[in-house]
Amino acid sequence: MVSAAWYTVLVALVGLERLAELVVAKRNFALSLRAGGHEASPGHYPVMVMLHTGLLAGCLVEVWTASRPFVPVLGWTMLAVVVASQALRWWCIRTLGSQWNTRIVVVPGARRVTGGPYRLLDHPNYVAVVAEGLALPLVHSVWVTALVFTAANAVLLSVRIRAENAALRAAYV
């Protein structure tokens, strides 16, 4: 049986992974700005940060206050999805290299990346975000957080993907 304490460790590890992403993003943002890049559509970024922070907090609050059970067949399956989503996310980060960022940044003259997971999908990182956002809460039956995050994230991604596609069209057409 997996306890809420072990689930808390998992959520903390995902939180540490997110901090590592922010370190990479901050470095890449500075590199992009030095290369003449500019941020496109920054208005939704604070909402994205709050939503993703809320996912982690919601997982912890719900598992501890609602005494959610660990259901083995669901929990282990969702843990595999969480691990796979992390692998996909870091494949995206590695493939994009210094162009990867948590913000939408356009660098004049940069080439559009079409290798790695980007040869299969336009936005593979968002597949990882959606998968993780649903799976991480369900590792320990934290279903309210899974539903709320998934719905809010769908709205946010509709804004984010439109903004990112517009920036890419402007940069590469």
Name the CA radius of gyration of the chain, rounded.
Answer: 17
Residue ranges making up the domain that contains 39: 4-172
| Band of pLDDT at residue 170, cut at 50, 70 and 90 | confident
Per-residue pLDDT of 45-65, as tens digits, reads: 999 999 999 999 999 999 999
Per-residue pLDDT, averaged over 69-81, amounts to: 97
Contact 136, 55 (CB under 8 A): yes
The set of residues, in sequence order, having a beta carbon less than 8 Å from that of 61 and lying 6+ positions away, is 145
Per-residue pLDDT, averaged over 156-162, amounts to: 97
State the pLDDT at residue 109. 87
Q: What is the CATH number of the domain that holds 32?
A: 1.20.120.1630
State the pLDDT at residue 6. 96
Tokens representing residue 135 in the block: 């799976």
Q: Where are the alpha helices (DSSP H) in the chain?
A: 4-34, 45-65, 72-96, 124-138, 143-172
| Band of pLDDT at residue 172, cut at 50, 70 and 90 | confident
Q: State yes or no: pLDDT of 162 exceeds 80.
A: yes
CA torsion through residues 163, 164, 165, 170, sign:
positive
State the pLDDT at residue 173. 62
Per-residue pLDDT, averaged over 73-82, amounts to: 98
Bridge partner list, 39: 105
% of the chain beyond a pLDDT of 90: 92
DSSP 70: P
State the pLDDT at residue 1. 55
Contact 137, 10 (CB under 8 A): no
What is the Cα–Cα distance from 79 to 138, expressed in whole angstroms?
8
What is the Cα–Cα distance from 146 to 61, expressed in whole angstroms?
13
CA distances from 83 to 28, 33, 89, 90 (A): 24, 32, 10, 11
The total of structural domains in the chain comes to 1
Per-residue pLDDT of 1-59, as tens digits, reads: 579 999 999 999 999 999 999 999 999 999 999 999 999 999 999 999 999 999 999 99
Contact 167, 104 (CB under 8 A): yes
Size of the chain, expressed as the number of residues it contains: 173
Per-residue pLDDT of 103-151, as tens digits, reads: 999 998 888 899 999 999 999 999 999 999 999 999 999 999 999 999 9
